[in-house]
Amino acid sequence: RGLRVAGDHVFVDKLRWNFRPPKRGQITVFDTDDIATLPPQTHYIKRMVALPGESVSIDPPRLLINGKRVNTHETMRKIMNETHPYKGYKLVPIGHGANQQDWQMRTTNDVLRLAMDQYFTLGDNTSNSKDGRYWGTVPQKNLVGPAVLIYWPFSERWGLTR
């Protein structure tokens, strides 16, 4: 219940981040304008994993923030657990993608350092997700808000996002 699938319609809280900053683990909606390799004038939905000023890397299946394993958010713990269907966070496969940019996470030595106006997002299913590992950070100006509710289709997925 509440897991996202392509084609789901979600309510986005466009006001929350005017009063408090985004948090790690939130499902985040952002616009793609001025993000390298992404089509402009569209919206993406991913999970917020790194915040301004942090450094992020992946040591499969673990996500590392400032060199330490992230295990503070329940949903992220499930994703990183090797018994979960997604089997944790993965590196970008060698030779995958047309451009090899500095921010593409191809080895455990690749570390991305975020500026004070940048955020980093990943998809929950890293085996099938084009996410920040491929195109880098999301500028603060692109953040729309956290996704809070799947309202369509009206099925077992209807409800709060998680």
Give the DSSP letter string of 74-100: HHHHHHHSTTSTT-S--PPPTT-SS--
By residue count, the chain amounts to: 162
Per-residue pLDDT of the chain (162 residues; tens, 9 = 90+): 334 455 666 767 888 888 999 999 898 999 999 888 889 999 998 999 999 999 999 888 888 999 998 876 555 655 655 445 556 777 776 655 545 555 577 888 889 999 999 999 998 777 777 889 888 899 999 999 998 866 555 555 545 566
**Angle made by CA atoms 46, 52, 56, in degrees to the nearest 5:** 65
Ramachandran category for residue 88: left, alpha or beta (phi over 0 → left; psi -120 to 50 → alpha): left
| 129: nearest Cα among 31, 35, 6 | 6
pTM for the whole thing? 0.81
